[in-house]
Amino acid sequence: MIKIKSIEVYKINLPLKEGKYNWSHDNSVSVFDSTIVKINTNKNISGFGEVCTLGPAYLPAYPEGVRTGIQKIGKFLIDQDPTNLTEINMIMDTNLKGHNYVKSPIDMACWDLLGKYLKQPIWKLLGGKFGKHVELYRAISQEPPREMSKKVKKYKKEGYKKFQLKVGGNPTEDISRIKLVKSILNEDDVLVADANTGWLMHEALNVIKSTDHLNIYIEQPCISYEESLSVRKKTNSPFILDENIDSIDSLLRAYNDKAMDIINIKISKLGGLTKSRLLRDLCVKLGIAMTIEDSWGGDIATAAISHLAHSTPKKYRFSSTDFNSYNSFNYSKGSPQRKNGNFAASDNHGLGLIINEKKIGKPLFTI
């Protein structure tokens, strides 16, 4: 029987190639604090997971909290079978209420172990691979309209056809951002105006009224579910909910309220691949399209995203993202690489990565 013998926790920094990433509420990050978990077993097999919270002001999560939380629950996982994913999640949930982001890298590492133990890629264990590749979106950091337009032109040349504009700032400027970028896109390109909860209801309605002829998607306009639902009821634009969808309960509520057309599944927001798969499969059953991603991350998180996305039927896959291409620090071989605005999950066992442990340094602590 395979058993967990130790859990190593690492902190790495992920600097951005573009120097800075800006979004609503004047949030800005230039170097992301990411946590890597390595689970060692008695069978000489190790699994890796990663979580990056996008700083402390995006979701109810923060980098240091990941490490503190793992110290609280890690001891309960020693000598447990990491391939018993349901039991692993029950142990974590019993010993730490909430704080899904803490549990995500542990669950991810257990999936990596499961794949290696069974000698299968994770996409096969999640339901099979659909298509040869997964379409990606490119997030465009919130800047003056012309700067955002220049970046969209650059990424169009790299093969992207889906763009997520970070709006949620001054409504007048946001209208200019949307109109200018839309003017340079092709008819089959996709444009999402992602406010990241940054607008008040009247601001959202003002932006939507001024741009609803442009065939764009509106994502998470307001901070609360009730505010976003109010906006949704007054527009015909395709509607995406992200920050408000953090559980099956929240998904079912939004589905019953007809609050959205698409949701974003962020692996760490739900607590890992186990619960993300459950939500993914429910969306397929209900006919809801998804953006499959995470809050942020490096090579490990990007690999996990690719496996969950590639094992999702293409019809329900709105888009996904390749965070490893945003960062100037990479630490593995085998992580998905973008090609013409697409990526593919590895066919190697587990996540399909070989981690350069010299690059990630020494663990902060071991349980």
Residue 148, phi-psi category: left (phi > 0), alpha (psi -120 to 50), beta (remainder): alpha
Rg (CA), the chain: 20
Residue 90, phi-psi category: left (phi > 0), alpha (psi -120 to 50), beta (remainder): alpha
How far apart are the C-alpha atoms of 93 and 103, rounded to whole Å? 8
Active site residue 266: yes
How far apart are the C-alpha atoms of 49 and 104, rounded to whole Å? 8
Chain centre to alpha carbon of residue 326: 13
Active site residue 166: yes
How far apart are the C-alpha atoms of 249 and 255, rounded to whole Å? 10
> What six digits make up the tokens of 82?
């990491």
Task: Write down the catalytic residue from 129, 151, 266, 269.
Answer: 266
How far apart are the C-alpha atoms of 362 and 211, rounded to whole Å? 50
In terms of residues, how long is the chain? 367
AA letter at 87: E
Chain centre to alpha carbon of residue 367: 27
Task: Write down the catalytic residue from 161, 166, 182, 275.
Answer: 166
User: Is the CB of residue 251 less than 8 Å from the CB of residue 285?
Assistant: no
How far apart are the C-alpha atoms of 231 and 220, rounded to whole Å? 10
Among the listed residues 272, 262, 266, the one whose alpha carbon sits nearest the alpha carbon of residue 100 = 272
Give the catalytic positions in this structure. 166, 266
